Amino acid sequence: MKILIYGAGVVGCTYGWQLSKAGCDVTVLVRKGQKEFVQKNGIHIICSDFREKVKKDTDIIFKPTVIDELSSNNDFEYIIVSTNKLQLSTILPSLSKSAGKANVVFFQNNWDVFTEIDKYLKPEQYFFAFPFMVGGGKEDKSIHCAISGLKYSNTPLGEKDGRITPRVEKLSIILDKANLKPVISNQILVWLITHYAVAAGLSAGIMSAGSASKFIENTAIIKTTMKAIREGLAICERMGINPKTEKANRLYLLPLFISVPIAKKIYGNDALQRMFDGHINHSSAASDVYKRQIKYKYMKDILQERFFQLLLECSQRKVSVTEFTEAIEELATHLADFSCNEQDYSVLLRYFSFGLHRLKSYRVRFEQEKNALLAFN
């Protein structure tokens, strides 16, 4: 079976790698200018696989066939679109001309793009699936991923109208061969839309906590997250979608004293922790928010350092040179433990400048008071 992975991201490459191991002829479509590099170096994948009883760590170079342009005369049976859904507006016009006879499978978090897809592709050209088994992020051109082994982690797939068609069954067979746990759904749109609502609330909760590990330790944030997810599911109901028809959504509708402890246990899973942190760090929009929050917390912590406290105390008491020297050394050590970008440094420099200005004003005032006392005596 010939399969094209449309987009060389974490999800696409990990699924492509697993499908290749299962015997599929996998090709990856990369951006213009990347083809030569990927052909020469391959795709570096560092994977933690939790599907067996013992976690298996793998560090491999995946070398699929690589293209940077798709022809309408292609002979692919399936084209798996694993790009960010925000890229669909540029991808769909191209797919409408180049998909050919291939079955296009949208492997994305989708909420409101179904009408948009119909503008470019006929219903018989595409169907949906979701990569619920895999997550992670990119670092230094390497893919860091986790493959979940939880019993409710799977790869749902199905037709928009709920029919069980031969093309869906055929892809399900090969996904099963790759141990990617396919589950054919007769209401895939319900699954996708409600999952999007859950993921939005959950991502906000994890970003608010600072990381997936901190999230499960913060009961207050988990409660707020559960309430946010309920609001999202309520919006789904107003759209005419019943969230309760998907079993996984029932957790979020339980009383908080029941759902919060269950959520802590579920989201404390090592594979999910890695997937959440990887997704958030890899997401262009979420990553900016996430990193800004981390930097804000860090800058806030820095301002609690003794050096800045001493600057505030200068007006209340006499601060010795020794105290300032020790405080500066502590601050230098603290800064060395964290990498700041230029914007962060500019903030620090403003505080240092402010501190030096304050010290100068105290010195001037001290000299004036000393001179006044000398004159009086």
* Residue pLDDT, tens place only, 114-150: 888 999 999 999 999 999 999 988 887 899 999 999 8
The pLDDT of residue 176: 97
- Segment 49-60 shows an average pLDDT of 93
The pLDDT of residue 343: 45
Domain boundaries, the chain: 1-186, 189-294, 303-376
The pLDDT of residue 342: 43
The pLDDT of residue 347: 47
Q: Which residues in 332-346 are b (16+ Cβ under 10 Å) and which e? A: eebeeeeeeeeebee
- Segment 18-40 shows an average pLDDT of 94
- How many C-beta atoms lie closer than 10 Å to residue 375's C-beta? 7
pLDDT digits 0-9 by tens, 324-371: 778 777 777 766 555 444 444 544 554 455 455 555 555 555 666 666
pLDDT digits 0-9 by tens, 192-249: 999 988 988 888 888 888 888 899 999 999 999 999 999 889 888 888 899 999 988 9
The pLDDT of residue 353: 52
The pairs formed by 234-239 with CB atoms below 8 angstroms and a separation of 24 or more are: 235/197, 236/193, 236/194, 236/197, 239/193
Task: Give the pLDDT band (50/70/90) at residue 251.
Answer: very high
Query: How far is the CA of 321 from the CAs of 185, 203, 213, 318, 364, in angstroms?
Result: 71, 47, 42, 10, 17
Residue 298 has pLDDT above 60, yes or no: no
Q: Homologous superfamily of 1-186 in CATH?
A: NAD(P)-binding Rossmann-like Domain (3.40.50.720)
Q: Which residues in 13-38 are b (16+ Cβ under 10 Å) and which e? A: bbbbbbbbebebebbbbbeeeebeeb
pLDDT digits 0-9 by tens, 75-90: 999 999 998 877 888 8
The pLDDT of residue 257: 93
Residue 316 has pLDDT above 80, yes or no: no
Q: Please give the share of the chain, as a percent, with pLDDT higher than 70.
A: 79
- How many C-beta atoms lie closer than 10 Å to residue 258's C-beta? 10
Task: Give the pLDDT band (50/70/90) at residue 314.
Answer: low
- Segment 27-55 shows an average pLDDT of 93
pTM comes to: 0.74
- Segment 54-82 shows an average pLDDT of 95
